[in-house]
Amino acid sequence: MKIGIYPGSFDPITNGHLDIIDRASRICDKVIVGVLDNPSKNPMFTLEERVALIKEVIKPYDNVEVDSFSGLLIEYAGQIDASVIIKGLRAVSDFEYEFQMALMNRKLCPDVETIFLMTSSKFSYLSSSLVKEVARFGGCIEGLVPQPIIKAIFKKL
C-alpha cells in the first residue's frame, strides 16, 4: 500500500490545499494530511481545531485521514510507513525552498520520495495567510476556503 503524507500547518485549510488532497488521493492508496504542530507560527486555530476542521472537509474521501505531528517530517513519515511526501507548489518561489527540503529528506531517508503537485491555476495566488488577512479586514473569502472553514474563521475573529 502506497501511503502518502501531505504535511502543512493548514491554518486554515484552503481550497488550494483541498485541490492537492483530491489529486493526491488518486495517486496514493492512502493519504494522511499531517498537521504540523509548530507553536512558533502563532496560529489562528489550535492544533486540535485545525485537525477537526480538516476532518470535516475531507469526509468525501475514503482514503484520506488527518493526523498531527511535531518534529521532523521525515521521522513522522517513518512512523506512519509513508513512502511518499506530497508537496503542493504555487509558484517558482515555493520550489526553491521545497526542493531543499526534499533533498534533505532524501539524505535522511532515501526510501521516501517527494512528489510536487502544481496547484490548479485558479488557486495559484491563494495562501492561508492571505485568507486570514482578507477575513480580518472583512473581505469576502467565498470560494477560497470551504463553507465550514468560513464559519470557523469568522467565529474566531
Catalogue the active-site residues.
17, 41, 90, 128
Q: Could you tell me which residues are annotated as the binding site for ATP?
A: 9-10, 17, 88-90, 98, 123-129
Sheet with 113-118, side-by-side order of all strands: 64-69, 30-36, 3-8, 84-89, 113-118
Which residues belong to the annotated binding site for substrate? 9, 41, 73, 87
User: How far is the C-alpha of 93 from the C-alpha of 26, rounded, in Å?
Assistant: 26
